[in-house]
Structure 1
Amino acid sequence: MKNGNRLIKIGAIGGVITALCCFTPVLVWLFALFGISALVGYLDYVLFPMLAMFLVFLVIGFVQRRRAK
């Protein structure tokens, strides 16, 4: 049960942070601040797979927790 709860926390926190970076210009502002705004075009190639990965962690955590009960 401990592992399922941990995966749920990782999936939820990572998913929220990644979703904020995907759907708001948070990373665009940070990249512009640091002078690396040329990399903004590549963010979609990294952020969408990360979001999917965190959502998979969340689902796996729920499944593990349900099986433990």
Structure 2
Amino acid sequence: MSGPHEPPETQPDRSGLLKFGLIGTVILALCCFTPLLVVLFGVVGLSAVLGWLDYVLLPALAVFIGITLYALWRRGRS
């Protein structure tokens, strides 16, 4: 029983996880498959870090793809 002063029950926002996963995947894919970060790091003067970039970008891309797939799986179940 809900009274007149109680807030209506709402569904939790499930699209936030999907948006987060998709935005992260797109940004990391651009950084992995284009010379975007290479040029940016060269301009800023951090070109010595470029050798270590793959150790961070590829696992992060896998994590964001996993988040996106999990959000799509949850959306399909509901």
* TM, length-normalised to structure 1: 0.90
Alignment correspondent of 1:59:
69
The residue type equivalent to 2:30 in the other structure is L
Task: State which of 29, 32, 47 in structure 1 corresponds to 2:39.
Answer: 29
The runs of 5 or more residues in structure 2 that have no matched partner are 1-11
**Unaligned regions of 5+ residues in structure 1, if any?**
none
CA shift, 1:55, in A, is 0.4
Task: Give the C-alpha shift of residue 37 in structure 1.
Answer: 0.2
Distance 2:29 2:52 in 1: 16
Following TM superposition, the consecutive aligned residue runs of length 4 or more in structure 1 with deviations greater than 4 angstroms are none
**Aligned Cα RMSD in Å?**
1.0
